[in-house]
Amino acid sequence: MHKLEFRPFDIEAIRKDFPIFTTDPPLAFLDNAASTQTPRPVVEAMDAYYDTYRSNIHRGIYRISEEATEQYERAREKVAQLINAPRSRQVIFTRNTTESINLVAYSWGSTNIGEGDEIVLTTMEHHSNLVPWQLLAQRTGATLRFVEITDEGLLDFTQLRDLLTEKTKLVAIGHVSNVLGTINPIQSIIDMAHAVDAKVIVDAAQSVPHFQVDVQQLDCDFLAFSGHKMCGPTGIGVLYGKSELLEEMPPFLGGGSMIRSVERDVSSYAELPAKFEAGTPSIAEAIGLGHAIDYITQANLAAIHVHEQELLKYAHQRLEQIEGITLYGPAPHQKMGVISFNMEGIHPHDVAGILDTHGVAVRAGHHCAQPLMKRLDVIATVRASLYLYNTIEDVDRLYEGLCRAQKLMTRRKIT
């Protein structure tokens, strides 16, 4: 990992950058695993594009189009720096994590996966790192294998070791679970997968926003994440891939920008990264993501991590005091700032609904992880998830809201 200096963390200054927190009392926004809030500098950077150099990229031979192209490519460099990609051309802009994973499933999958091949996943994958592989398996006759989780919400490593064989062509694994917060030991998993010559795609949607991820150190083959979970706008995501893989892969979507020359029946394709960026991309959003990266790196990812861990420990202490609560997933030191729970006898929707009336935003549902819900033997959970701008007061409001929910609901008969 990079050495990161630790800077003091100025939560008051940070919160001032988010107009959504200026109400009294402020919104306790605890649905960050779904999508985060956007700070002023990110919105201003996108406004500047729309107000002063709005134009399409790559094609225009006039000043503002050159400016737009430059800013778009600068954003790509910022992404490359953030994840320590060797070259910025290995950073492909997509709409989100889901599209990044689908790109790999279609393009790499169509030429590298065949009948009898095995793709190893885990029970805790988000649907976006599961359904594309189901579709690929249906197209090719490959088989999906699942690493189970222990009752503590950790991967069963013994079973993982047994699953990896010469049949394994791909391991598709989430870095951090969006339901349990579990931090998977992907370095070991990547090493183990490479030992059997399998490639690894990391779903980093819940890790890159929260701590330093170094693709060269990990030696992962592909890595995917979304801008909207890291203070950036919606509509922009990233796929990182190793050069030799991306070079060999056929295009995913065909159209403008991704070609070198087009004849009636055949075309030749552009170099990376353009080969995978057909059509006009999300220009403002890419620029916004670049500034979001500036924002979280200035706030300091190491400091953000420490801040979230402190809040997480505090939240666990408080919530554990509530009678009839079940917390899912590992202990705080083995996970990120995600707390999934249920209150005995109260439907998760009702918990979230009552918290909403208390100014606390949490998510209730299956969190796009139905196989995991099944493994936990629940229909749904309530999930509170943290980010850099959350405070002790947010956690206290959550606690008070839950006590209120309990008072309101548990005297009642549950059918």
Partner 1 sequence: MNIYQEELLDHYENPSNYGTLPRCTISHEEDNPLCGDQIRIDLLIEDDTVKEVRFCGHGCTISLAAASMLTEKIEGKSLDEVKQLSKDDILDMIGIPLGPVRLKCALLALKVLKAGAYGITAWPGEEDE
Ligand X SMILES: Cc1ncc(COP(=O)(O)O)c(C=O)c1O
178/381 with CB nearer ligand X: 178
Instruction: Check binding of 329 to ligand X (CB under 6 A).
Output: no
Q: Give yes or no for a contact between 286 and 76, defined as CB atoms under 8 angstroms apart.
A: yes
CB of 405 to partner 1, least distance (A): 9
Picked from partner 1, ligand X, none, the partner binding residue 412 (CB below 5 to 8 A depending on kind) is: partner 1
CB of 267 to ligand X, least distance (A): 29
Instruction: Check binding of 205 to ligand X (CB under 6 A).
Output: yes
Among residues 220, 231, 368, 403, the one annotated as catalytic is: 368
Q: Which residues does 356 contact at the CB level (< 8 Å), separation at least 6? A: none
Instruction: Check binding of 31 to ligand X (CB under 6 A).
Output: no
Torsion of CA 303, 309, 315, 317, to 10 degrees: -130
Instruction: Check binding of 357 to partner 1 (CB under 8 A).
Output: yes
Instruction: Check binding of 94 to ligand X (CB under 6 A).
Output: no
Instruction: Check binding of 128 to ligand X (CB under 6 A).
Output: yes
> Which residue in this structure is represented by tokens 């979970």?
229
Number of residues that bind partner 1 (CB under 8 A): 17
> Which residue in this structure is represented by tokens 């192209």?
69
Binder to partner 1 among 132, 281, 348, 401 (CB under 8 A)? Answer: 348
Binder to partner 1 among 350, 359, 375, 400 (CB under 8 A)? Answer: 350
Torsion of CA 402, 412, 328, 319, to 10 degrees: 30
20/408 with CB nearer partner 1: 408
Number of residues that bind ligand X (CB under 6 A): 14
* Of residues 68, 138, 75, the one with CA closest to residue 288: 75
Q: Cα angle at 199 between 204 and 138, to 5 degrees?
A: 90
Q: What is the token pair recorded at 36?
A: 């985060």
- Strands 143-147, 168-174: pairing kind: unpaired
Rounded to whole angstroms, the Cα distance separating 35 from 252 reads 26
Picked from ligand X, partner 1, none, the partner binding residue 178 (CB below 5 to 8 A depending on kind) is: ligand X
Q: Which residues are paired to 144 by β-bridges?
A: 119
Instruction: Check binding of 203 to ligand X (CB under 6 A).
Output: yes
CB of 406 to ligand X, least distance (A): 28
175/367 with CB nearer partner 1: 367
Q: Give yes or no for a contact between 245 and 221, defined as CB atoms under 8 angstroms apart.
A: yes
DSSP category for residue 105 = I
33/201 with CB nearer partner 1: 33
Contacts of ligand X in 342-401 (CB under 6 A): 368
124/382 with CB nearer partner 1: 382
Is 231 marked active-site?
no
* Alpha carbon distance, N-terminus to C-terminus of the chain: 52
Q: How many helices (H) and strands (E) does the chain have?
A: 15, 15
**H or E element in which residue 202 lies:** strand 199-203
Instruction: Check binding of 127 to partner 1 (CB under 8 A).
Output: no
CA 375 to chain centre: 22
Q: What is the token pair recorded at 252?
A: 């995913």
For residue 412, what are the CA distances in angstroms to 35, 156, 168, 364?
A: 34, 40, 52, 21
Picked from partner 1, ligand X, none, the partner binding residue 347 (CB below 5 to 8 A depending on kind) is: partner 1
Binder to partner 1 among 354, 382, 386, 395 (CB under 8 A)? Answer: 354
- x/- mask, partner 1, residues 362-401, rule CB under 8 A, reads --xxx------------xx---------------------
Query: Given the rule CB under 6 A, which residues bind ligand X?
Result: 33, 96-98, 126, 128-129, 174, 178, 203, 205-206, 226, 368
Binding site for partner 1 (CB under 8 A): 347-350, 353-354, 357, 364-366, 379-380, 408-409, 412-413, 415
Residues designated as active site: 368
